[in-house]
Structure 1
């Protein structure tokens, strides 16, 4: 926290960053809808799920392959007057899985599903080198970006009236991923996708949210 009273009394800049290996939740990289889930959709009807595993087990060696994650956030609180204040904020984070973690899971997939079938559903990585492997959401490196602002009026002590809004974007860091919103049956068509069949794909999804808030503390 950096106080900036030279701009206005009560103003402050907040900065924070975190990095973790095998400790995704401690860095703040998670989902609104399930912080303790292996994968979840931050946005309702999201085009693809993000994976939040702290680590994945190599099915051939039994070793844990830890994921890496980091987040950075900055926010600024400004008082226009003693009764009026605003906050603006932004955050960015990434989650990465080792290449050998994903390829090992893919090799196991090829043993269990040798004929283009899929017994893992949306958790399927696919056979390394195939089109489905390139498009599967499982253990993909992803990012999250959030930005927002607020305007609050406090006519009396402990009473806040105002508006708030924020924008969230999630995406894969490389390549494309199956769009389950437009193509909900894609994960049952592994063989057809590998053969060049049509499939809806995307690189990111986003949502904007706004609310009017009246809060009275007692």
Structure 2
């Protein structure tokens, strides 16, 4: 029996050795290696290698919720010579005036919810880094976030949603192509409400080249899209000039013939930054009258006038006060390029650059057109403007900071425009200024809870009301020479909760 067991064990061992030898001759099947996402630290925090590529990608976003309160005010209150307010006054056709509004139908609250999705992809090449950036903004708004208190209608604004491309550009070998921040602007958007300064919150389409020199110096030359400031592509028109000449009664949006040419020189060093910028652009308008419309299908002679602006920005770091403290300053002057000193209309509703003021101020028209002869030979004037602004940032603690902000703008229309009655499109010189302060708490990094209080004031004397009360009993379109009472100041309280990731 013992011999039998020994023989059986030996046979099993031999069989196993044969099977093992045969198995060794068979092809092996190994699982494919797992390609894990790896950190890409060549471009800073937050970048990862896209598996299977030589591209690094950073995905981030921002959620912002704003709510604010602004008292409603009548834009222009018309009064007769001893009678009550005349609420039935309507703006004559072809004029740019703000009629009487009843504040009982206007919103005082605004709500705004914004979500940003940001992607930044970078690839190294023999010519340097190729960068591709996309920022998509989704928003939902209601009340004052939808329509300003000076809207043409007194009805409360319904809620709305929308999507906007805030940035979409490629940078390569010094070139920037696509939708990016304007190369003219300088001040950071530290304010919650508006400032009387240039701003392009949705970016601006461009073809730009930036040359970088040693010591933090750089220079940029760019072609920027005029169509991204749509209100400024329409001309103001005078329906009746002081000389008794009938003016143009219809104007179309001026066609884009040339892009805006923008340039800047800049230095960024340990003490801060400085930038000198300039822009030259072409204003266009189609001059039209009823007689011209009859034979030209509504488009008269094309009027062109060059506009330009210059600006200077300065940032001084103040670490001796507290870490992160800084003073930002700006000054600008424009001739026929208003949106490069104060974006669009000062009375419009925009996410960054609007102020809600009682009163009327046309600040989104670069040029005014009118008739200079009885045969309606077209004439054109540009509007000039000057502005200054400052932002002082102070950190009370590493997690608690404040911004103290002030801005001022002075607008000067042409002489004929100033001498024309406001019911026919005339405008006077105007000044506007604002001050504001906010307090922002950051309990964790990139998470802000802030409140802001702002005050703004407008001063403007409309032509046609300087002579005192009229002799007629009431204000009508036929008799617009009545007293205008302008509510020229307003304040806003605002709160913001924002998280960036």
Tell me if both proteins adopt one fold, taking TM over 0.5 as the criterion: yes
Aligned to 1:208, which of 480, 491, 495?
A: 491
Considering only aligned residues, what root-mean-square deviation do their CA atoms show, in Å? Answer: 2.8
| Contact 1:68-1:95 within 8 A present in 2 as well | yes
Greater fraction of residues in helix:
1
Instruction: Show the counterpart of 1:55.
Output: 367
Kindly indicate whether residue 455 of structure 2 is the aligned counterpart of residue 167 of structure 1. Answer: yes
| Contact 2:427-2:462 within 8 A present in 1 as well | no
| Contact 2:433-2:458 within 8 A present in 1 as well | yes
Report the secondary structure of 1:58's partner residue: strand
Pairing 1:108-187 to 2, within 5 Å after superposition: 123-124=423-424, 138-172=426-460
Structure 2 runs not aligned, ≥5 long: 1-314, 467-473
Aligned-pair distance for 1:175?
A: 7.9
Instruction: Show the counterpart of 2:411.
Output: 95
- Take 2:390 and 2:336, find their aligned partners in 1: how far apart are those partners? 24
Report the secondary structure of 1:25's partner residue: helix
- Take 1:202 and 1:149, find their aligned partners in 2: how far apart are those partners? 29
Instruction: Show the counterpart of 1:27.
Output: 341
Aligned-pair distance for 1:123?
A: 3.9
Instruction: Show the counterpart of 1:78.
Output: 394
Rate the CA distance shift 1:21–1:190 in 2: closer, same or farther, 3 A. Answer: same
- Take 2:442 and 2:349, find their aligned partners in 1: how far apart are those partners? 34
| Contact 2:332-2:386 within 8 A present in 1 as well | yes
- Take 2:445 and 2:465, find their aligned partners in 1: how far apart are those partners? 50
Q: Which runs of 4+ in 1 moved over 4 A?
A: 173-178
- Take 2:366 and 2:461, find their aligned partners in 1: how far apart are those partners? 18
| Contact 1:177-1:203 within 8 A present in 2 as well | no
| Contact 1:175-1:203 within 8 A present in 2 as well | no
Rate the CA distance shift 1:25–1:177 in 2: closer, same or farther, 3 A. Answer: farther
Aligned to 1:69, which of 373, 385, 389?
A: 385
Aligned-pair distance for 1:169?
A: 1.1
Report the secondary structure of 2:346's partner residue: coil
Aligned-pair distance for 1:206?
A: 1.1
- TM-score, normalising length: structure 2: 0.31
Rate the CA distance shift 1:49–1:177 in 2: closer, same or farther, 3 A. Answer: farther
- Take 1:25 and 1:146, find their aligned partners in 2: how far apart are those partners? 18
- TM-score, normalising length: structure 1: 0.68
- Take 1:141 and 1:25, find their aligned partners in 2: how far apart are those partners? 17
- Take 1:78 and 1:25, find their aligned partners in 2: how far apart are those partners? 29
